[in-house]
């Protein structure tokens, strides 16, 4: 009886130590996994795009995407939509290269597929800018990847629009270019920041203002 009473606390202590050891091993494996993922830029971007696709799936031609699609179609068929009020009274379209670029994808793959392809390219540019900016800001690839992953798992809705949008707009590409410009500034570069800022301005002048 006495022996059983003495051994009980020891058993509890052993089980607690085993649980602590198991948790430590899990965290160690997680840390090693994150280091391996974050060490490879393209694999990191693939994971970020996968996270984004699962948590913030492509919504199609909705919201502002409808207006940008109309502008691109108007670029392809100038007279067809001339009476539309949005086209008739002009818009910011004359200040960007987005409609000609969008129109090229529509010509190559059709409206639905072309929109989706350009959306995926814009997302890739968006997350490339985010990841490289965080890498330069944090100087730690694991922290940078984790920060970018948090962005990919949320739409980051603001008062007026979504930052991590699930539909095609020039804002995605402009933000990607803007973040690449800011990364260059952190690295004390001159030419590349100006180049990326110029690209951001070509897609969306207002979004480029923040980086300027």
| Per-residue pLDDT at 69 | 92
Please give the residue that has the higher pLDDT: either 83 or 168.
168
Contacts of 176 (CB under 8 A, 6+ apart): 122, 125, 126, 127, 128, 129, 130, 200
CA dist 59 and 165 (Å) reads: 9
Q: End-to-end CA distance of the chain: give it in Å, rounded.
A: 79
Average pLDDT score, the chain: 83
Total-model pTM: 0.80
CA dist 50 and 61 (Å) reads: 20
**Is 138 exposed, middle or buried (CB count within 10 Å of its CB: 0-12, 13-18, 19+)?**
middle
| Per-residue pLDDT at 79 | 73
List Cα–Cα distances, 76 to 61, 81, 168, in angstroms: 18, 10, 18
Q: Which of 1-10, 62-71, 113-122, 130-139 has the lowest mean pLDDT?
A: 1-10
- CB crowding 174-196: b at 16 or more within 10 Å, else e: bbbbbbbbbbbbeeeeeeebeeb
Q: Among 29-38, 79-88, 202-211, name the most confident range.
A: 202-211
CA dist 164 and 180 (Å) reads: 16
| Per-residue pLDDT at 159 | 46
Residue written as tokens 């913030």? 56
The candidate with the shortest Cα–Cα distance to 131, out of 27, 30, 52, 65, is 52
CA dist 118 and 168 (Å) reads: 7
Residue written as tokens 């989706």? 116
Contacts of 39 (CB under 8 A, 6+ apart): 141
118, pLDDT greater than 90: yes
Q: Tens of pLDDT along 168-208?
A: 999 999 999 999 999 999 999 999 999 999 999 999 988 88
């Amino acid at each position: 009886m006495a022996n059983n009473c003495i051994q009980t606390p020891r058993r509890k202590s052993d089980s607690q130590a085993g649980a602590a050891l198991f948790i430590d091993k899990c965290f160690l494996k997680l840390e090693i996994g994150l280091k391996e993922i974050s060490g490879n830029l393209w694999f990191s971007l693939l994971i970020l795009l996968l996270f984004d696709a699962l948590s913030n799936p492509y919504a199609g031609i909705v919201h502002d995407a409808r207006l940008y699609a109309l502008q691109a179609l108007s670029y392809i068929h100038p007279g067809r939509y001339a009476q539309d009020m949005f086209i008739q009274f002009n818009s910011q379209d004359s200040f960007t290269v987005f409609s000609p670029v969008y129109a090229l994808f529509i010509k190559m793959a059709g409206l639905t597929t072309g929109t989706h392809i350009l959306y995926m390219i814009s997302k890739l540019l968006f997350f490339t800018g985010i990841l490289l900016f965080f890498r330069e800001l944090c100087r730690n690839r694991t922290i940078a990847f984790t920060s970018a992953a948090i962005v990919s798992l949320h739409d980051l809705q603001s008062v007026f629009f979504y930052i991590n949008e699930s539909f095609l707009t020039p804002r995605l590409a402009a933000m990607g270019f803007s973040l690449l410009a800011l990364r260059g500034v952190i690295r004390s570069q001159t030419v590349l920041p100006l180049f990326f800022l110029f690209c951001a301005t070509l897609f969306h002048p207002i979004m480029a203002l923040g980086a300027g």
